[in-house]
Structure 1
Amino acid sequence: MIRVLLVDDHAVMRAGFRMILEASGEVEVVGEAGTGTDALAAAADLRPDVICMDVQMPDMDGIEATRRIVADVDTAVVIVTTFDRDDYLFQALSAGASGFVLKNAGPEELLHAVRVVAGGDALLAPEVTRRVIARFARTDSSTEPGPSAPRGAGSTTPTRERSRTAADAPATPMADLTEREAEVLRLVAHALSNAEIAQRLYIGEATVKTHVSNVLQKLGARDRVAAVVYAHRHGLV
C-alpha cells in the first residue's frame, strides 16, 4: 500500500481525492492537512510515501511547505493545483517536488502520478511538459549550460530523483546511449514508471533502474525531468 498525505485547504477536495485514491485498493490515505504549517507537522509525524500538495493555502503556501518537507523528510511531493501557471510550475520543481498535476486531470491521472512518484520517479502533467522544454530551449539560446555532475558510476539503486532547478539541460550526444538505454529513455519521456517499463520490455524492474541510472549519468542529467527534456529536444519522442 502507498501511504499518502492529502494537503488542501478545501475539505471537499480532500474528500474527493481520498475517495479516488482509496478506491484503487493500492493507496492508504494516512492523514489530511488544510494548511502548509499543518502539512509540515503531519509529514514529520506520519512519514507518508507521497504527499499530494495544494499551492494556495493559509499561513504557508504549498511551494514553501514542499521546500521544507523535501529538506527534512524523505517523502515525495506531488503538486496538485487548479492554477496552470509557469511560476507555480518552476517554483515547485525548484522546491523539490517530484510531480506536478492539475486538478482538472482525470482520476486515473492522479492515481498514476501517486504510483509514479511513490516508485521514486518524477512526473509532469502532459500540458506543462512542453513549457518545461521551452524554458530549456530559451536558456540554451542565450547560453549553453554544461552538464550536471554525473551520478556515481556503480550505483544501481538511484535515490529519489527530484527536480531542483531548470538549469540542468544535458548536452551529451544520443550516440553515447546503447539501443536499450535509448528505448528506456523514450519510455521515461512518455511518463512510464520503472515498473511499467519493465512490463513493456519484459525485463526486471532492477534492470530498468540500472538503465535509468546509466542514462542519467551519460546525459549528465540530474533527474528524470531533465532527461525527458533531452528526449524531446533530440526528437526521441
Structure 2
Amino acid sequence: MKYGLVLILILGAFSLGYWTGTNQAASDIDSNTKQDKPNALTQQDVEAPSVSPQTRKNEHYDADGLQPVKPLSNNGSDMFAESEYSNPDSTSTTRTNSPQEATTKPTPITTDSLARRELKEWQERYSEDLKARMQDVLGEASDFMFDKVSSESPLLTKPTAETPLETDIAWRYQAEQIVTDFINTNINDPATEILQVMCIQKMCEATLTGPAQQSAIELHIEFMKQKPFDLNNSSPIFFVKEDDSYWLYLILTFN
C-alpha cells in the first residue's frame, strides 16, 4: 500500500513537469513570432515603391509590387505600345534604298531637244542636196559657188533650233507658201524659174534662175521693202553665167 502511494506521486509529478514545459515552449515560440513580424513589415515598406493613388489607378504592378506593368487591350496598337514601353531603348528604323536599288530615271526628251536633233540631221542632208543641185545648174563652177554659199549661209554655218519642233513644222509650211507666192507676184521676168524654196527654224532658202539679172535684183529690193511674214533680212548670192543668165541663192531670215 505504501509503495503504491509513492508510485502515484511520482507519476503525478512527472505529468505536471511535462505539461509545464510544453506550455513554456509554445509561449516562447509565439513570443518570437510576434517579435519578428514588425521587422518583416518594416523591410517590405522600405523596398516597396511609393505609389500615388492616381498612379495606382492607371498602372498595375507585378506580384512583387516592384515593376509597373502597362495593361494591354485587345487591339494591335496597344500591343505595339506595350513592346515599346517594356523596351525603352528600342528605336524605330527607316529602311533606305541602297545605291544598287536606286533606279536612274531616263532624261525625258523635250520638244526643244527634238528640234535640235532634227535640225542637225537636216543640215547634213541639206549640204549634200545643195551641192548636187548646184552641180546640175552650174557645172564646173559648182565647187567654187558651194564653198561661197557654205561660208555665208546661216543654214550651213550656224543654224539654231530656237522654235519647238511642232511649232516649227507648222511655221515652215506656211513660210514656204508665202515666199513662193511673193516671188511669183513680184518678179517682173516671166522667164524666171523657181528651183526650190525651203524653210526651217525661221530661215528660208530660195534658189532661182533666169535670163535677166536685173529682175532678180529688183526682187531682192521688194523683199526688203515689204518684209512679208515678218521678214528680218534678205541676203542674195549671185552667179552670172557666160550667156548673162543668172543663178540666185537667196537667204531669208525671219523674226
Tell me if TM exceeds 0.5. no
Q: Which has the larger radius of gyration?
A: 2
Richer in helix (by share)? 2
TM-score of the pair, normalised by structure 1? 0.24
TM-score of the pair, normalised by structure 2? 0.23
Structure scoring higher RCO (CA < 8 A, sep ≥ 6) equals 1
